[in-house]
Amino acid sequence: MRLIMIDEYNDKTMQLARPVYDRHRRVLLAAGRTIHPKYLERLRQMDIKYLFVDDFISEGITMEELMDMPSWMEATEIVQKAFEDVKANKPFNVRELQKLAVKLVDEVSRRKMIIIIPSTSLAAELRPYAHAVNVALLSLQLGKQLRLNGLQMHDLAMGALLHDIGKAVEGDEHHAIKGFEYLRKNREISLLSAHVAYQHHEAFNGEGAPRKVRHKEIHQYAQICGIANRFENLISEEGIPPHEAMEALMAKSNIDFAQDLVRLFVNTIPSYPPGAKVKMSDGREAIVTKIVNHMQRPYIRYLSTNEEISLAEKPNLLIISVTDKDKK
Ligand SMILES: [Fe+2]
Ligand SMILES: [Fe+2]
């Protein structure tokens, strides 16, 4: 299995590996079949950017680093429910969200790494909620690396899940303040989680929003969420491959984000996820098959010979580009 941009889909060589859902979270296209051109057009109209496919070159690649699709969809639904309640001026179910936070903390704790499913693999209506789930997963992966304890991880998860809740209170503008004001009134939610919403658009150098606080004045959880949020937007909305998104984050070290946190993030989230087609420094094409220990040095399999090697053991062999555009 591998993840492709929708423009790369080729119905002669690829089958859908994960279902595509409509905006009501119903299965629109089931896994295991090819996509009829008519449906492909429909997916384009829905602005779906990514598909999971099975094909010859991705044979044997399992992508078990992904959260399973039903759990991810369920998580998205819980966040959606909370946002809709807030929009309707109803109190949202904090318990449900806390249960989800526990589940996500558990998910991240027992996995070595996390690869997110881009929220743009879903219908536009569901994306803001899948975005929140992804930001929570990425934040927790960083929190794990920082050895946060269980309670800290829980507060971080709640903050990340609700970081954009202000958008449900009053739309995009001022959503950080609105979210903070909304969350801090709720006694069941930690003030630290509320601060994640408040400060997730602040910048390390003090040029962010809404209060232009800087450096240590920005709570660590909010800095973590800020990095995860930027990364998720680059991957999903902008359709940028992970290694380029990493470079974009590094370029913002000590400008938007604390350098040590960016470094930690880069070292804990794979730049070349399994299924990525790559060009190697020896000129040959390969596919990433798995990541065992080193996030930047995965296993690859040459397309021409099927020979699989670990880049961790070949320090001189480099990935020079990601060749994501399949020519039909
Ligand atoms: Fe935001
Ligand atoms: Fe966000």
Give me the pLDDT at residue 197, please. Answer: 98
Q: Which helix (H) or strand (E) holds 53?
A: strand 50-54
Q: What ligand is nearest to the CA atom of residue 166?
A: 1
Domain hosting 11: range is 2-54
Whether residue 169 is found in the same domain as residue 214: yes
Whether residue 214 is found in the same domain as residue 162: yes
Whether residue 158 is found in the same domain as residue 239: yes
Domain boundary among 250, 268, 286: 268
Whether residue 188 is found in the same domain as residue 292: no
In a domain, 258, yes or no: yes
For residue 261, the CA-to-ligand 2 centroid distance in Å is 18
In a domain, 209, yes or no: yes
Whether residue 294 is found in the same domain as residue 184: no
For residue 325, the CA-to-ligand 2 centroid distance in Å is 28
Whether residue 103 is found in the same domain as residue 184: yes
For residue 229, the CA-to-ligand 2 centroid distance in Å is 5
Across residues 118-127, what is the average pLDDT?
Answer: 95
- For the chain, the average pLDDT equals 95
> What are 255-281's pLDDT values in tens digits?
999 999 999 999 999 999 999 999 999
Domain boundary among 268, 291, 311: 268
Q: What is the CATH number of the domain that holds 199?
A: 1.10.3210.10
Q: What ligand is nearest to the CA atom of residue 175?
A: 1
pLDDT greater at residue 296 or residue 42: 42
Whether residue 170 is found in the same domain as residue 238: yes
Across residues 57-64, what is the average pLDDT?
Answer: 92
For residue 175, the CA-to-ligand 1 centroid distance in Å is 7
pTM: 0.96
Helices (H), the chain: 37-45, 69-87, 94-110, 127-145, 150-161, 166-170, 175-184, 191-199, 220-236, 242-251, 259-268
Whether residue 116 is found in the same domain as residue 258: yes
Whether residue 188 is found in the same domain as residue 226: yes
324 has pLDDT over 80? no
Q: What ligand is nearest to the CA atom of residue 132?
A: 2
Across residues 70-77, what is the average pLDDT?
Answer: 95
In a domain, 328, yes or no: no
Cβ atoms 209, 176 nearer than 8 A:
yes
Across residues 123-138, what is the average pLDDT?
Answer: 97
Whether residue 231 is found in the same domain as residue 99: yes
> Could you give the number of structural domains in the chain?
3
Whether residue 179 is found in the same domain as residue 211: yes
Q: How confident is the model at residue 328 (pLDDT cuts 50, 70, 90)?
A: very low
Q: How confident is the model at residue 325 (pLDDT cuts 50, 70, 90)?
A: low
Whether residue 282 is found in the same domain as residue 264: no
Q: Where are the beta strands (DSSP E) in 236-317?
A: 277-280, 285-290, 299-302, 308-310
